[in-house]
């Protein structure tokens, strides 16, 4: 329950906040060994081409199967992993698993087309000196072409980024890895800055998709999305939309010129076999 803002902060007990603090403490303690104990797993959510409805790939989303708390979403532990430094080995593990999965899809289900894999990078991974070499090593070891991989970086992670921060991303982009700007439109989008960033994909934040809920959608929101898509395409960037939950949203976003979509309307994040099924259905009609 919300307490009145201002004074008396220490007098009002907030049992929920206490419980959260205790859980947070417990998670922080358990986190460093969770990777060695094999408690993380990855779910995959398909990325669907809005023009023809075909599955083009998937985004890897990490989960933690905690022995006491059950399955925890990334919002519960990624911030802790960033704080404790575990994010670097965890991120490397996610990348390796995801690239291995992409290879598996490509080998066993090639009739479904060359599926691509999207992996999220946290700001800490961006500043970690091993990022480029680790990525190159993993791709080579798995025998996967760089163009099968897309790394997602949030817009806020690149706000005010100087050239040192962008250098590893540039290297990866030159190798053929796609870089996507995740949650686009939520931060202080500096549109002029886009030209400077080595990105090839904009992922339009879910809040835009939500505003397409009603039909017809708010005309101002339509204009904004239309403008972003036009700008993106003029800069040779593809546009992916997040959080598509209804067919009406998908149709509206397709009409507005968005390229790829992701959301519960197509599939919730799930085990890798699910993507095989979806891609195969799509390939065989």
Q: Is 260 in the site for Mg ion (CB under 5 A)?
A: no
Among Mg ion, ligand C2E, none, the one that 123 touches (CB under a kind-dependent 5 to 8 A) is none
Nearer to ligand C2E, 229 or 249 (CB): 249
Q: Is 178 in the site for Mg ion (CB under 5 A)?
A: no
Q: What tokens appear for 15 in the block?
A: 């049992």
Among Mg ion, ligand C2E, none, the one that 62 touches (CB under a kind-dependent 5 to 8 A) is ligand C2E
Binding-site member from 47, 94, 169, 194 for ligand C2E (CB under 6 A):
94
Q: How far apart are CA 96 and CA 238, in angstroms?
A: 25
CB of 243 to Mg ion, least distance (A): 7
Q: Is 96 in the site for ligand C2E (CB under 6 A)?
A: no
Q: What residues numbered 10-69 form the site for ligand C2E, per CB under 6 A?
A: 45, 61-62
Q: Is 259 in the site for Mg ion (CB under 5 A)?
A: no
Nearer to Mg ion, 242 or 282 (CB): 242
Length of the chain: 285
CB of 204 to Mg ion, least distance (A): 9
Contact between residue 261 and residue 240 where contact means Cβ atoms under 8 Å apart = yes
Those residues whose C-beta lies under 8 Å from the C-beta of residue 71, and which sit 6 or more positions away, are 63, 64, 65
Those residues whose C-beta lies under 8 Å from the C-beta of residue 76, and which sit 6 or more positions away, are 27, 64
Q: Is 43 in the site for Mg ion (CB under 5 A)?
A: no
Q: How many helices (H) and strands (E) does the chain have?
A: 10, 9
Binding-site member from 51, 53, 73, 143 for ligand C2E (CB under 6 A):
73
């Amino acid at each position: 329950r919300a307490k009145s803002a201002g004074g008396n902060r220490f007098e009002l007990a907030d049992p929920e906040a206490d419980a959260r603090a205790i859980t947070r403490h417990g998670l922080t303690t358990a986190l460093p060994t969770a990777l060695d104990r094999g408690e993380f797993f990855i779910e995959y959510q398909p990325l669907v081409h809005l023009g023809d409805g075909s599955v083009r790939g998937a985004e890897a989303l990490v989960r933690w199967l905690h022995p006491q708390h059950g399955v925890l979403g990334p919002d519960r532990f990624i911030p802790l992993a960033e704080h404790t430094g575990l994010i670097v080995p965890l991120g490397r593990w996610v990348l390796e698993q995801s690239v291995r999965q992409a290879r598996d899809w490509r080998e066993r289900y090639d009739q479904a087309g060359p599926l691509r894999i999207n992996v999220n990078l946290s700001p800490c991974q961006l500043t970690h000196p091993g990022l480029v070499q680790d990525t190159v090593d993993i791709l080579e070891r798995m025998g996967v072409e760089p163009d099968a991989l897309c790394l997602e970086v949030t817009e806020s992670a690149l706000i005010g980024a100087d050239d040192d921060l962008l250098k590893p991303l540039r290297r990866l982009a030159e190798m053929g890895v796609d870089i996507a700007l995740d949650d686009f439109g939520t931060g202080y989008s500096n549109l002029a800055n886009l030209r400077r960033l080595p990105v090839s994909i904009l992922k339009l934040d879910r809040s835009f998709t939500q505003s397409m809920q009603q039909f017809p959608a708010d005309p101002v929101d339509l204009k904004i999305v239309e403008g972003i898509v036009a700008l993106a395409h003029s800069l040779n960037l593809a546009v992916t939309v997040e959080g598509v939950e209804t067919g009406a949203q998908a149709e509206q976003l397709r009409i507005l010129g968005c390229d790829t979509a992701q959301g519960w309307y197509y599939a919730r994040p799930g085990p890798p076999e699910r993507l095989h099924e979806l891609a195969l259905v799509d390939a065989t009609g």
